[in-house]
């Protein structure tokens, strides 16, 4: 099984990550030379991928999108991880575990943005439910600027059971929601092994997912709009986790 990913950064990061088999790289005829295209060509040759040229119309037909940025690649299926692999990676890499759990995030742009955030914040993995959720498609890889190729993503049949399993393995689960039971995000302790749970774009977390969390945090709202985009909320929460952990580590260093 193969698919075409597209976008210069998406193709470049796929070649850099080497997690998928890259069967061929297709570049647009007459594309203006750039450092990204030069590195794509070099990595394609190094990895043994076939290099081809195509017109803009041919690239659009291959990708099913006009947004190829003059580069596409035929690759093997996305390499999903298991939930156990996410936990093992956290133990192997040291420090406290940090896993992002997404409850029915369906918009590919939001999922791509969250995968990019997971990569830049050093999150150990992302958990998605099997149904009613976006998965890692070529559009998501492009929206993540290729970061999806470096992040471990697990798809589980039942998100609540996955949460319960993570709790048994020592993680605390923090749900991000605007509710009376939630503490302000900067007042909650986010320094231990943590699973951060975000709800869907419209409905937030489902009732059972919300009940399975150990505690809840909220972001203060000062305007007239009552909620944030899920990717924006995820950015604030993940960077607060990193801020608290850095502060704790600095406080523990002997003077």
- Alpha carbons within 13 angstroms on the beta-carbon side of residue 241 total 30
Instruction: Determine the pLDDT at residue 220.
Output: 81
In the chain, where the domains are located: 2-76, 83-252
Instruction: Determine the pLDDT at residue 54.
Output: 94
Distance CA 181, CA 188 (A): 12
The C-alpha angle 69, 104, 160, rounded to 5 degrees, equals 140
Q: How many CB atoms lie within 10 A of CB 114?
A: 31
Instruction: Select the more confidently predicted residue: 180 or 116.
Output: 116
Contact by Cβ (8 Å): 91, 116:
no
Which CATH number applies to 83-252? 3.40.1280.10
Instruction: Select the more confidently predicted residue: 250 or 144.
Output: 144
Percent of the chain's residues with pLDDT above 70: 97
Instruction: Determine the pLDDT at residue 254.
Output: 64
pTM: 0.92
What would the pLDDT profile of 197-230 be if each residue is shown by its tens digit? 999 877 788 999 999 999 999 888 787 666 678 9
Instruction: Determine the pLDDT at residue 228.
Output: 76
pLDDT score of 119 more than 60:
yes
Distance CA 22, CA 77 (A): 10
Instruction: Select the more confidently predicted residue: 184 or 147.
Output: 147
Beta strands in 133-238 (DSSP E): 153-156, 172-176, 183-184, 194-198, 215-218
Which CATH number applies to 2-76? 3.30.1330.30
Instruction: Determine the pLDDT at residue 247.
Output: 92
Instruction: Determine the pLDDT at residue 38.
Output: 94
Section 75-97 average pLDDT: 91
**Helix, strand and coil percent figures for the chain, each rounded to 5:** 40, 20, 35
Helix-helix angle 8-17:35-47, to 10 degrees? 40
């Amino acid at each position: 099984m193969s698919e075409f990913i597209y976008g210069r950064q998406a193709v470049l990061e796929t070649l850099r990550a080497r997690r998928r088999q890259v069967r061929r790289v297709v570049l647009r005829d007459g594309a203006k030379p750039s450092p990204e295209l030069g590195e794509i060509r070099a990595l394609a040759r190094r990895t043994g991928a076939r290099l081809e040229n195509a017109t803009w119309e041919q690239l659009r037909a291959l990708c099913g999108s006009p947004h190829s940025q003059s580069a596409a690649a035929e690759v093997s299926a996305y390499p999903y991880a298991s939930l156990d692999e996410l936990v093992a990676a956290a133990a192997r890499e040291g420090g406290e575990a940090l896993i992002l759990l997404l409850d029915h995030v369906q918009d590919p742009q939001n999922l791509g943005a969250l995968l990019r955030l997971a990569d830049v914040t050093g999150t150990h993995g992302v958990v998605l439910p099997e149904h009613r959720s976006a998965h890692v498609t070529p559009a998501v890889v492009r929206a993540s600027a290729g970061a999806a190729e470096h992040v471990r993503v697990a798809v589980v049949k039942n998100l609540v059971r996955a949460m319960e399993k993570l709790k048994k393995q020592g993680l605390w689960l923090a749900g991000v929601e605007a509710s009376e039971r939630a503490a302000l995000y900067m007042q909650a302790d986010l320094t231990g092994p943590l699973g951060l749970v975000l709800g869907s774009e419209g409905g937030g977390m489902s009732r059972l997912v919300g009940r399975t969390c150990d505690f809840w945090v909220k972001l203060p709202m000062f305007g007239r709009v009552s909620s944030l985009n899920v990717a924006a909320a995820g950015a604030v929460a993940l960077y607060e986790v990193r801020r608290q952990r850095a502060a704790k580590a600095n406080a523990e260093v002997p003077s």
